[in-house]
């Protein structure tokens, strides 16, 4: 008997919900990059409680924070937009690398929102074929050719390790 046999109905439902969520997170980890720095994402299990159970979240390894991520194509377009039109949503901030990243993340959110509402983007990627002009992508940019079959490793981390840190993801939207 598997783990499901020892659970009640509510627990079984939660088990499947968690499993689906984990699959979604794995797909995003492969398909997406950080909205702030464009860096690679990874999965970490944040451990808490006596049973050492934990919730799995996507992290940006470079920013070291929880990050839902964005499709890499959208990140490249957003970066181009911020550079080309000198977009600045945070004029009161100093002109730092951090402000630049926040602006790119903001445009990522806007483009993602638009694409989702046009019903061409889902959590696991675009629903239609897309094509980005070379002007925007630049010739040196190589999109991830992720092996979608490969297993995504989950690293354990202590809850205290992220306590007090500023988290990204939905809180920044
Ligand atoms: Zn990052």
Cβ contact 16:41 at 8 Å:
no
Q: What is the pTM of this model?
A: 0.76
CA of 30 to the centre of ligand 1 (A): 15
pLDDT on residue 65: 92
CA of 36 to the centre of ligand 1 (A): 5
- Dist. CA 75–CA 111, nearest whole Å: 9
Residue 3 has pLDDT above 50, yes or no: yes
CA of 63 to the centre of ligand 1 (A): 4
CA of 34 to the centre of ligand 1 (A): 5
φ, ψ for residue 29, nearest 5 deg: -60, -35
Q: Give tens-digit pLDDT for 16-31.
A: 888 889 999 999 999 8
Burial 24-54 (b: 16+ CB within 10 A, else e): ebbbbbbbbbbbbbbbebbbbbbbeeeeeeb
CA of 40 to the centre of ligand 1 (A): 7
Could you tell me which residue, 53 or 20, shows the higher pLDDT?
20
**What average pLDDT is seen over the chain?**
84
Cβ contact 34:108 at 8 Å:
no
CA of 135 to the centre of ligand 1 (A): 24
- Dist. CA 97–CA 101, nearest whole Å: 6
- Dist. CA 43–CA 150, nearest whole Å: 14
């Amino acid at each position: 008997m598997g783990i499901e046999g020892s659970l009640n109905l509510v627990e079984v439902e939660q088990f499947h919900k968690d499993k689906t969520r984990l699959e979604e997170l794995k797909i995003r980890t492969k398909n997406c990059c950080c909205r702030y720095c464009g860096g690679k994402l990874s999965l970490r299990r944040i451990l808490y409680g006596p049973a050492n159970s934990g919730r799995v979240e996507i992290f940006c390894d470079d920013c070291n924070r929880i990050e839902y991520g964005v499709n890499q194509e959208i990140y490249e377009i957003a970066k181009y937009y911020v550079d080309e039109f000198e977009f600045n949503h945070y004029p009161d901030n100093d002109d730092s690398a951090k402000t630049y990243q926040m602006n790119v993340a903001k445009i990522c959110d806007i483009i993602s929102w638009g694409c989702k509402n046009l019903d061409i983007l889902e959590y696991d990627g675009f629903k239609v074929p897309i094509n980005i002009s070379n002007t925007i992508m630049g010739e040196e940019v190589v999109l991830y050719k992720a092996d979608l079959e490969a297993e995504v490793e989950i690293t354990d981390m202590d809850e205290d390790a992220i306590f007090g840190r500023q988290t990204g993801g939905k809180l920044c939207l």
